[in-house]
Amino acid sequence: MSELAELKEQVYKDPRPPEHFAPFHTRTRTHRPNVMYELVRIVMSLIAWVFFRAGHVHPERVPAVGPVILAPNHFSFLDHFFLGVALRRKVHFMAKSQLFKKPLQYVYSPGGVFPVRRGYSDDEAFVTAVTVLDRGDAMAMYAEGGRSRTGELAARPRRGIGRLALLSGAPIVPVAIVGSSHVRNWKRLHFPKITVYYGEPFAYERVEAPTRDQEQAAADAIFAEVRALYDKATAGSAA
């Protein structure tokens, strides 16, 4: 496998105030993704299939209706597209607030993406995510938070995925995206094969005000399922 291209240094905290992002949260809480989602899906599906030979294993494990949290690992800025290519459902995504700038914010927000201010305790992002799930829609959230910069899974997840699982009580589907660590090499015309593995769904009882320890424990358990799926897939034995 070729050496990984370096990622740009991350700008972790967004200096813009919470009020700047309120319209994006309002839109997501009151509207489902519109035709923008379908347009982007068509374009990105073609890219996924033609350039990355994207394959999917057990997408039927994602419930066809009702709330669900998709919990994938995160190597590439294209992971959310790889995740959704095989799914008929429209999937909402929580993305770092730095992405919400003109003109792309006019694609993200109508397409079901809403911001989270990383580095802050962003309660608004979780209110939006729980609202999405409470109306029976699908949400994707990366257990690791940001992208892995090493090409390996993180040693430990952030507790956000555990917080969302407990606040919502929605079923969680662990997801392993294999191969996307080398997508960053596309400028070198390296296009790795991508395979997405969907695990068996499970759920926690809803907790109105989980503690930090409860959130981290749930996140650790969810990420353990993601890791097991990923390890099995990379060992070539995933069914």
The answer to whether residues 61 and 199 touch, using CB atoms and an 8 Å cutoff, is: yes
What is the rounded distance in angstroms from the CA atom of residue 215 to the CA atom of residue 99? 26
Query: Based on the number of CB atoms within 10 Å of its own CB, is 18 exposed (0-12), middle (13-18) or buried (19 or more)?
Result: middle
Angle (CA) 198-202-208 rounded to 5° is 130
Please say if the pLDDT value at position 68 is more than 70.
yes
As a whole-number percent, the residues of the chain with pLDDT over 70 amount to 92
Structure confidence at residue 238 (pLDDT) = 44
The structure's pTM equals 0.91
Sheet with strand 55-57: strands edge to edge:
55-57, 195-198, 172-178, 68-72, 138-140, 91-96, 113-116
Structure confidence at residue 87 (pLDDT) = 94
Structure confidence at residue 57 (pLDDT) = 96
Structure confidence at residue 194 (pLDDT) = 94
Total residue length of the chain? 239
Residues 150-163: pLDDT tens digits? 788 999 999 999 99
Residues 92-121: pLDDT tens digits? 999 999 999 999 999 999 999 999 998 888
